[in-house]
Structure 1
Amino acid sequence: MIGTLGLEPHFEGGYFRRTYQADHRELLETLSGPRYLMTSIYYLLDQQSPVGQFHFNRSDILHYFHLGDAIEYSLIHANGSLHTLVMGSDILSGHLLQLHVPGGVWKASRLLDGEYGFGLISEAVSPGFDFADMEMGNRKKLIAAYPQHRALIEKLTRGED
């Protein structure tokens, strides 16, 4: 699957490939500089890389589930509230096919056990994704800010600080 889709390792975990950027339109001016109106990627978690570590994006992101095993998303909002959602194909049991994550929310994902050993989604980001607009979760800082979620943060961040 990784080779077929031309995916590369992502430093947050999993694999990705940018599939679209709105380079036929004028760039948007943001506080962080010019950005594409929208970008899109494939994103895959598998048994070798089953976790997308906590990270923060400034842009809104729409996630679209494609195939494979379900993926659990943990979202920590600025007020400390935690939402846990599952993207997958079993909509009768509450899985989501589409998920909106607003900019400014800490997000992590993990592959759930299933029959395929991978989960594939797409993400559409607006304004378009730029690595300058992303922050990887620092375990110590996240625990200090959200001590009520310590166990989850320890599970979904890397140990180095």
Structure 2
Amino acid sequence: MSEKSANYWIEQLRLQAHPEGGYFNETYRSEEAIKKEDLPERYQADRVFGTSIYFLLTTDSVSNFHRLNSDEIWHYHQGGSAIIHMISPEGKLSSKRIGSDLTSGDSLQMTIPRGHWFAAEVIASEYILVGCTVAPGFEFQDFELADREGLSSVYPEYQTLIQQFTNNKK
């Protein structure tokens, strides 16, 4: 059986454009929640236990630098490989591969720690389809899309990478 195209997955999974780039569809949102007073101060309201989405990137649609208040786990499903670039709160740059080519250094799943700026790009094939799980659950108020000028001023040594994975608007 031949590999499906990115458009096939976008249509079949009813994926929508995501503000960071790529396409997504939320597939799970816990019915139970954690009260704000039981969460760390970085959360401004109650949060569900966890959420999960399908997330698809193409060679034409990268995931721009952003960060979350919660850890996010990526699970490989289909397509090629991607590199996830991360800048820790201390300013350390690291890159990890996700995909099915384990002999080339891919991993079938990986975790992006909370508070890390991260971006992703497809490096093998035309797309990658992953699942993303966030706990406590994802809310857009916990999502911060990087501003090119602001992120470059904090991490000038990564200006070329930041330029590649941001747009001019916040």
TM-score range, shorter chain: over 0.9
What is the aligned-residue RMSD (CA, Å)? 1.2
Tell me, which stretches of 5 or more residues in structure 2 are unaligned? 1-8
Pick aligned residue for 1:57 from 68, 71, 77: 68
The percent identity for this pair of structures is 35
TM-score (norm: length of structure 2): 0.88
> Counterpart amino acid of 2:79?
G
Q: Which of 12, 16, 22 is residue 20 of structure 2 equivalent to?
A: 12
Q: CA deviation at 1:28?
A: 3.8
Q: 2:10 corresponds to which letter in structure 1?
A: I
Aligned to 1:102: 113
Task: State the AA in 1 paired with 2:116.
Answer: V
Aligned counterpart for 1:147 among listed residues 139, 153, 156:
156
Cα distance in 1 for residues equivalent to 2:123 and 2:29: 30
How far apart, CA to CA, are the structure 2 residues paired with 1:55 and 1:100? 15
User: One-letter code of the match for 2:129?
Assistant: L
TM-fit CA distance, 1:160: 3.4
* CA-CA distance at 1:34 after TM superposition: 0.7
Match of 2:144 among 135, 139, 149: 135
Give the alignment of 1:39-50 within 5 angstroms. 39-49=51-61
Distance (whole Å) between structure 1 residues aligned to residue 53 and residue 152 of structure 2:
30
1:92, CA displacement in angstroms?
Answer: 1.6
d(CA) in 1 for partners of 2:35, 2:108:
29
Q: Distance in 1 between matches of 2:167 and 2:100?
A: 29
Paired with 1:79 and 1:118, the residues of 2 have a C-alpha distance of: 31
TM-score w.r.t. structure 1 length?
Answer: 0.93
Aligned-residue offset at 1:113:
3.6
Please tell me whether the aligned partners of residues 28 and 127 of structure 1 are also in contact (alpha carbons under 8 angstroms).
Answer: no
User: How far has the Cα of 1:94 moved from its partner?
Assistant: 1.0
Q: Which runs of 5+ in 1 are unaligned?
A: none
Offset, 1:38: 0.2
